[in-house]
Structure 1
Amino acid sequence: MKFKMVAAWQYAKKNFVLPKNIIFFGLALLLILGFSTAVNLIPLAQPAIAQEAPLSTTIPRYAVTAEFGRDRGGSDYISYFTLPSASICQQYCINDNKCSAYTYVRPGVQGGSAVCYLKSVAPPLTPNDCCVSGVKL
């Protein structure tokens, strides 16, 4: 008995005969299960798509005043430098649960840059043109 080295495709071509009933059964199975499910043309789960949220109709958590030309000295627990406006300082106070009041010192008053001071308690007001202060209500 002699053995020959034959390529796999040549062996399959000569020795493998696909019965017609297997082909028919496979096609019938595709039709029953659905062609799109078998081939996965339509995924079962769609990818998440970022959507813009509708406008909020809820009342904000805090109302914070803006007192122009007023300073609240003392009770500082954190400070931020080079903020472009008092409204950003006010927003920092709104977002910080520890903040009870804030003072925004305009640029050029303390060394050239603006400074925002968040305060743990609301100190009394004093008139001063350098600052914008506010308190959480």
Structure 2
Amino acid sequence: METTPMRLVPLLAASSAFVLLAAPAFADTPSMKPDKPEPAKGQETGVYRFGATYSVQPIETASACQTSCADDEKCVAWSYVATFEGADARCELKRGGGKARPNPLATSGVSPTLAAKFIPDPKPELEGGPEAE
């Protein structure tokens, strides 16, 4: 028995209609990936800073580590390393900025006190800025 292409036309038409009708329903479906929170000001997400570590503390968040560094006048930089395979999360305070290297479990930064010395606040009187009259 021969199968003619004409016998397949109704089957293809029905399949196409189903796909076209179902597409809008799938288009509005939210993705399964959670939204990544925006890193706080001064945080380098996915970066570990090697340097002269002088203190290692158990801390739960990168923001708490950043605050710990800001409160310690010896601290120049910090790295927070998240919990992984049974190891507790930790905050490392550093005497130097060290080299920054990619690490998906780490979040790092420079002491806000040190950053303020080298990164001046923008001046509103600069020409061409949004505050220009």
Structural mapping, 1:71-86, within 5 Å: 71-81=48-58, 83-86=59-62
Matching residue within 87, 92, 106 for 2:68? 92
Structural mapping, 1:11-26, within 5 Å: none
Q: Share of identical aligned residues, percent?
A: 36
Matching residue within 46, 52, 68 for 1:69? 46
Q: Give ranges in structure 2 of 5+ residues lacking alignment.
A: 1-40, 116-133
Which residue of 1 is the match for residue 97 of structure 2? 122
TM-score under structure 1 length normalisation: 0.50
Runs of 4+ in 1 over 2 A off after TM superposition: none
Which residue of 1 is the match for residue 24 of structure 2? none
**Does 1:113 find its partner at 2:92?**
no
CA RMSD of aligned residues (A): 1.4
The 1-side partners of 2:88 and 2:103 are apart by: 17
The 1-side partners of 2:69 and 2:54 are apart by: 11
Q: Give ranges in structure 1 of 5+ residues lacking alignment.
A: 1-63
State the aligned residue count. Answer: 72
| Structure of higher CA gyration radius | 1
